[in-house]
Amino acid sequence: MAAFSSASVTPKSTVLPSLPKPHRPSSAAYLQSPPLKFNNSYKTTSSTTPPPVFCTLTEHPMTSTEEELRPDSFGRFGEFGGKYVPETLMYALSELEDAFKSLSADQEFQKELDGILKDYVGRETPLYFAERLTESYRHPNGEGPHIYLKREDLNHTGAHKINNAVGQVLLAKRLGKKRIIAETGAGQHGVATATVCARFGLECIIYMGAQDMERQALNVFRMRLLGAEVRPVHSGTATLKDATSEAIRDWVTKVESTHYILGSVAGPHPYPMMVREFHAVIGKETRKQALDKWGGKPDVLVACVGGGSNAMGLFHEFVDDKDVRLIGVEAAGFGIESGKHAATLTKGEVGVLHGAMSYLLQDEDGQIVEPHSISAGLDYPGVGPEHSFLKDIGRAEYFSVTDEEALEAFKRLSRLEGIIPALETSHALAHLEKLCPTLRDGAKVVVNCSGRGDKDVQTAIKHLKL
């Protein structure tokens, strides 16, 4: 069954007509626990770490923008998001939602997740003051912003992807699932999924586009070494979007035994919310560390955006802090005007892809345009619905950066700080070139260093001719 093709949809007004409540299977835990509201208490200056996962779902559909419930009970962020899936998957999705809600209230689960994040993944990751990078952006009069890197590259497996993989696999175990499936583009999410499946002893199947498998042969071997089965996908353009569609197809047929670990904040509700919550630990730690380091909040947060998971992980904590600027950086490939890019929020239009309504790169017929970026992780024609929402309400700003600029930033961070960033991260770092001259002296900029670049050194050397 093909994934839904997108259609150009004119944006509706933000107030939705009230819809009848969807049928929910009765669940004792669900009925007994009160709707969980967003809890602000941990924003005070206590040194205790908040629990890793919060569930912000409430019972009430979104009625006004002041409420800003993200998402509402239908899984919508404004008009974006939702659950555009075949009937067979509706039960699985609401089961997932219920499980997630009950687990975020479960102290045992929180403790277990906390322990794994600490001992297995290696959290908390440092907030590192990049001294030489800061100096390079200083004006001649000695003024300039202070640049901090959130070191997600130090996580186990070398990217932020593991935060979500660990949370979801624990969830899957609670649900009694024995089989895990996932899609992957660059291979990082595949490796993270294979890693956690090995750790917890679950069967693991990864869908990967045949073209991607050729480009990322080493990651394919790593996945196989970790005990996962890697299935090539030959349909369509044999890249990430086709792998995602194939994974969804698999899930539809084996829904009782299988859990689908989606790698990003895209897909049908509750995935955007769940993946965001599992990554939100990034933002929570940043808040605590910022308080420790300079006694305040960051002024600007910068992150690269492919599907949007690392950006949401950093931003989510600070969305309600209006004095914190949120900046997402997408891949402009060969340039926005060239047509070979992955700048969904800049050049895309609203449509439905992989179960959610969001911005995406489509032609006049509503067919998906093949994106391009030197970094495989940003090579996704869609974007998470929450990012589309944040862009529309003006809470977050989105820019794009070309392959060349990203490669320059890759080289710059390696030479100045001795940290080799992933090419995906390099896009966020490249944006500093345009951003820093506009900031006041002493502004605190936190860049999410979402992964390490060991996997990209070959590509970079080829292009940079070192």
Partner 1 sequence: MASNPSNVFLQGGKFTEFGKPITLRKLFFSNPSVLPYNYRNFGAHISCSAIVEKLSPAAGQGELDSKSLTTRYLMTQKLPGQTEKPFSSTGKFGRFGGKFVPETLITCLSILEAELTLALHDTDFQEELATELRDYVGRESPLYYAKRLTDYYKNSEGKGPEIYLKREDLVHTGAHKINNAIAQAMLAKRIGRKSIVAATGAGQHGVATAAACAKLSLECTIFMGSIDIERQSSNVLHMKNLGAQVKAVDGSFKDAMSEAIRNWVGSLETRYFLSGTAVGPHPCPTMVREFQSIIGKETRKQAKEKWGGKPDVLLACVGSGSNALGMFHEFIGDEDVRLIGIEASHSASLSRGDVGVYHGTMSYLLQDEEGQIIGPHSIGVGLEYPGVSPELSFLKESGRAEFYTITDDEALDAYERLCRLEGIIPALEACHALAYLDKLCRTLDDGTKVVVNCSGRGDKDAAAVIMRKQDRLES
- Report the side by side order of strands in the sheet with 356-360: 76-77, 80-81, 356-360, 349-353
Please identify, using beta-carbon distances, which residue of 187 and 371 lies nearer to partner 1: 187
Site of tokens 């392959």: 403
Q: Which is nearer to partner 1, 16 or 457 (CB)?
A: 457
Q: Does 183 participate in catalysis according to the annotation?
A: yes
288 is known as an active-site residue: no
297 is catalytic: no
Least spacing, CB of residue 330 vs partner 1, in Å: 25
Q: Which residues of 39-57 are buried (b: 16+ CB within 10 A; e: fewer)?
A: eeeeeeeeeeebbbbbbbb
State in angstroms the smallest separation of the CB of 150 from partner 1.
11
Q: Which residue has the tokens 């939602």?
A: 97
CB 342 within 8 A of CB 309: no
CB of 426 to partner 1, least distance (A): 12
* Per annotation, catalytic residue among 83, 101, 150, 161: 161
CB of 158 to partner 1, least distance (A): 8
Among residues 264, 277, 450, 455, which one is catalytic? Answer: 450
Least Å distance between CB 185 and partner 1?
19
Q: Cα 267 to chain center, whole Å? A: 11
Positions that interact with partner 1 (CB under 8 A):
118-120, 122, 125-129, 132, 151, 154-156, 158, 194-199, 201, 218, 221-222, 225-227, 411, 414-420, 454, 457-458, 460-461, 466
Cβ nearer to partner 1, comparing 98 with 153? 153
Task: Find the helix packing angle between 271-279 and 161-174, rounded to 10°.
Answer: 120
| Residue closer to partner 1, measured from CB, 84 or 128 | 128
Residue closer to partner 1, measured from CB, 15 or 461: 461
Do residues 455 and 219 lie in contact, with contact meaning Cβ atoms separated by under 8 Å?
A: yes
**Residue whose CB is less far from partner 1, 148 or 398:** 148
Contact 383, 360 (CB under 8 A): yes
Give the list of residues 6+ apart from residue 394 with CB closer than 8 angstroms, or none. Answer: none
Amino acid at 111: K
Question: Reduced to 3 states, what is the DSSP secondary structure of residue 143?
Answer: coil
Instruction: Kindly state the DSSP code that residue 225 receives in the 8-state scheme.
Output: H
- Report, in Å, the least distance between residue 140 CB and partner 1: 19
Q: Are 49 and 317 in contact (CB under 8 A)?
A: no
Burial class of 130 by CB neighbour count within 10 A (0 to 12, 13 to 18, 19+): buried
State how far the alpha carbon of 309 is from the alpha carbons of 129, 209, 276, 327, 427, in Å: 23, 21, 6, 14, 15
Nearer CB in complex with partner 1: 78/144: 144
Rounded distance between C-alpha atoms, residue 7 and residue 237, angstroms: 20
The strand pairing partners of 229, in sequence order, are: 205
Q: How far apart are CA 154 and CA 196, in angstroms?
A: 17
Cβ closest to partner 1, residue 104 vs residue 125: 125
Q: How far is the CB of 176 from partner 1 (least distance, A)?
A: 19
Q: Which of 183, 246, 317, 386 is catalytic?
A: 183
Minimum CB distance to partner 1, residue 418 (Å):
3
SS3 307: coil
Are the CB atoms for 212 and 187 separated by under 8 Å? Answer: yes
β-pairing, 356-360 vs 396-402, is unpaired
Residues identified as active-site: 161, 183, 450
